[in-house]
Amino acid sequence: MPITLQPLTFCVFTFGCQMNKHDSERVAGMLEALGALAVEAVEDADVVIYLTCCVREAADTRLYGHVSSLKNTPLREGSPVSKRIIAIGGCIGQRDGEELIEKLSHVDVVFGTHNIGSLPALIAAARDDGKHHVEVLDESSSFSSDLPTDREQPWAAWLPITIGCNNFCTYCIVPYVRGREKSRPLDEIVAEAQRYVDAGVKEITLLGQNVNSYGRDLYGQPQFASVLRRVSDTGIERIRFATSHPKDLTDEVIGLFGTMPNLMPALHLPVQSGSNRILQAMNRRYTREHYLGLIEKLRAANPDIALSTDVIVGFPGETEQDFEDTLRLVQDVGYHQVFTFIYSKRAGTPAAEMVDDTPREVIQERFERLVDVVQEQAYLANQSERGRVVDVLIEGTSKRDANKLVGKSPKNQTVHAPLPDGLAAEELLGRIVPIEITEAKTWYLGGTLCQ
């Protein structure tokens, strides 16, 4: 008999990266297709689902706090279940499996990163027999993209082109919880992109832990540049991609930033460290010089490209000199945005076995010095937008002011603009409109809509 989840209500909490955000759209789509109703608040939900992240310790801790607090939240009036069903999936589900139930006994369902398609059956089983149901697989047999989807924004879509990762950076848990890299056949990617274009989607973000190594496991070894070309040919207005590993970024892809009008002029290129010694200990397989060479080529292809990066502070054995090399690199590149992380030890990774004796206060102080530089640079980088007219994809209105439009520039900057008199925000949602920039702050731009 086919499963029905009517009249259950559910809400999904998503932690972690875009892979999880994408998975949560599939979870919502699947459950809705079986008759369950999505709600915003846990108080209204018969089923609460977590898509979890374990990339740093803080993400782990957050889940435990959240799930524990559910114990004291009463069920809604008229709920068809006698106990709220709690399901944990994503990267912690994959890593811990059965152990999660030992740690959090009121959790009912655990699933992993390779089997989100099993979730409806696991929820139905827990509802019917009140027992624990754990299913974690070692490998994926298919892409979750084949499942129905309930996209967060109708005009923007995430499109996974690879899953997993083969790089084994020594600090990182991702290859252990997402498995080996698998590429999706090119025709399937293009077909999905075309469906989005036909449905009025304006922006597609191609996803993978390292999109640049796309295709190595496929017949004929199609390259990432071909994916970009084929997706561009669908007529989509905006293309972005994340994430790129510097060791695999090709000259061909770099060149496209100068020649492909719908490829947005923004690239996230995680450097992690500016010290060759640390890069080697991280198993990143590039040098500072190689990275800076890529930046030079990117700027030659498109002088106006916006660059962002990730940096880890306090990797085991990082010296003051290593840190200063990182600081200098960040200063030299002039990033629009830098995501800064303090190294977090992850059990089972090679770095967890390395001598790690830098005092906490020293790492904290380095982190703060880096953040100061990052903010200064983000502010400076935004100044060049003043006086320009920028195409902005309108995503909504400000939470604090319903008369303020909020959207994204081609460089992925957040842009605010007052809603012009006589226009309703709904008319502009999902449209790309010209905005003249009059204000440039550290984390956003302000301007007025050109009529």
Using CB under 6 A, list all residues that contact ligand SF4. Answer: 165, 167-169, 172, 174-175, 209-210, 245
Binding mask 191-230 for ligand SAH (x = CB under 6 A): ------------------xx--------------------
Q: Does 344 bind ligand SAH (CB under 6 A)?
A: yes
In the complex with ligand SAH, the residue whose CB is nearer, 13 or 176, is 176
The interface partner of residue 20, options being ligand SF4, ligand SAH, ligand F3S, none and the CB cut-off 5 to 8 Å by kind, is ligand F3S
User: Degrees (nearest 5) of the Cα angle 92, 104, 80?
Assistant: 100
User: What would the two tokens of residue 8 be?
Assistant: 């259950």
- Residue nearest ligand F3S, Cβ-based: 16
Q: Does 149 bind ligand F3S (CB under 6 A)?
A: no
Q: 17 vs 22, 208, 220, 294, 380, CA distance in Å?
A: 9, 10, 30, 25, 27
Q: Are 176 and 95 in contact (CB under 8 A)?
A: yes
Closest CA to 307 of 363, 378, 248, 256: 378
Rounded to a whole number of angstroms, the minimum distance from the CB of residue 361 to ligand SAH is 18
The helix (H) or strand (E) run that includes residue 229 is: helix 224-232
β-partners of residue 447 are: 437
Q: Are 393 and 430 in contact (CB under 8 A)?
A: yes
The interface partner of residue 168, options being ligand F3S, ligand SF4, ligand SAH, none and the CB cut-off 5 to 8 Å by kind, is ligand SF4
In the complex with ligand F3S, the residue whose CB is nearer, 53 or 333, is 53
Strand residues in 108-221 grouped as ranges (E): 109-111, 133-135, 156-160, 162-163, 182-183, 203-207
Binding mask 32-71 for ligand SAH (x = CB under 6 A): -----------------------xx---------------
In the complex with ligand SAH, the residue whose CB is nearer, 45 or 249, is 249
**What residues have CB less than 8 Å from 187, skipping those under 6 apart?**
none
End-to-end, the C-alpha distance of the chain in Å comes to: 57
Residues 16-35 within binding reach of ligand F3S (CB under 6 A):
16-17, 19-20
Q: Are 302 and 267 in contact (CB under 8 A)?
A: no
The answer on whether 172 is annotated among ligand-binding residues is: yes
The answer on whether 11 is annotated among ligand-binding residues is: no
Residues 43-72 within binding reach of ligand F3S (CB under 6 A):
53-55
Other Cβ atoms closer than 10 A to 86: 21
Rounded to a whole number of angstroms, the minimum distance from the CB of residue 29 to ligand SF4 is 25
In the complex with ligand F3S, the residue whose CB is nearer, 242 or 394, is 242
The answer on whether 54 is annotated among ligand-binding residues is: no
CA distance 52 to 20: 7
**What residues have CB less than 8 Å from 304, skipping those under 6 apart?**
265, 411
CA distance 180 to 166: 5
Binding mask 71-110 for ligand F3S (x = CB under 6 A): -------------------xx-------------------
In the complex with ligand SAH, the residue whose CB is nearer, 31 or 279, is 279
Binding mask 170-209 for ligand F3S (x = CB under 6 A): ---xx--xx-------------------------------
Other Cβ atoms closer than 10 A to 89: 28
β-partners of residue 64 are: none
CA distance 250 to 224: 9
In the complex with ligand F3S, the residue whose CB is nearer, 17 or 329, is 17
Rounded to a whole number of angstroms, the minimum distance from the CB of residue 194 to ligand SAH is 27
Q: Does 270 bind ligand SAH (CB under 6 A)?
A: yes
- 32, 150, 310, 391: which one contacts ligand SAH (CB under 6 A)? 310
Q: Are 437 and 446 in contact (CB under 8 A)?
A: yes
Q: Is the peptide bond before 74 cis (omega within 30 degrees of 0)?
A: no
Rounded to a whole number of angstroms, the minimum distance from the CB of residue 236 to ligand SAH is 23
In the complex with ligand F3S, the residue whose CB is nearer, 36 or 119, is 119
In the complex with ligand SAH, the residue whose CB is nearer, 87 or 174, is 174
Rounded to a whole number of angstroms, the minimum distance from the CB of residue 267 to ligand SAH is 12
- 170, 243, 275, 382: which one contacts ligand SAH (CB under 6 A)? 243
The interface partner of residue 117, options being ligand SF4, ligand F3S, ligand SAH, none and the CB cut-off 5 to 8 Å by kind, is none
DSSP characters over 65-76: HHHHHHTT-PPP
**What residues have CB less than 8 Å from 171, skipping those under 6 apart?**
282, 312, 315, 343, 346, 349, 351
Which residues in this chain contact ligand F3S in the complex, by CB under 6 A?
A: 16-17, 19-20, 53-55, 90-91, 173-174, 177-178
Question: Which residues are annotated as part of the binding site for [4Fe-4S] cluster?
Answer: 17, 53, 91, 165, 169, 172
